[in-house]
Amino acid sequence: MARTGRTAGAYERGMLDMLEAAVLGPRVGETFDAVVIDVDEKDPTRGEITIAEPAIEARVTSSSPLPLGSWCKSR
C-alpha cells in the first residue's frame, strides 16, 4: 500500500511539474511577483516561493537569506 501511494504521489508531482513547465516555458526571462512561503532552516538562502500570477510554487536559491512571508521578485 505504501509503495503504491509513493508511486502515485511521484506521478502527480511529475504531472504538476510538466504542467508548470508548459505554462512558464514561453515566459522565460520574465520577472514575477512572489511570496516566500518556506525557508530552509539549515540554509536560509534556500526555500520555496509562490508566484502570484501564474499561481505556481517553486524552489529557489538566493544570494541573501530569504525573509519568510515577504514579497519578492523572482526570475
Residue 73, pLDDT score: 78
Regarding whether 74 and 54 lie in a shared domain, the answer is yes
Residue 46, pLDDT score: 96
pTM of the model as a whole: 0.73
Cβ neighbours around 35 below 10 Å, total: 15
Domain enclosing residue 60, as ranges: 31-75
Regarding whether 71 and 38 lie in a shared domain, the answer is yes
Is there a cis peptide before residue 54, judged by omega within 30 degrees of 0? yes
Regarding whether 69 and 52 lie in a shared domain, the answer is yes
Regarding whether 71 and 51 lie in a shared domain, the answer is yes
Q: What stretches in the chain show pLDDT beneath 70? A: 75
What are the cell numbers at 64?
541573501
Residue 8, pLDDT score: 86
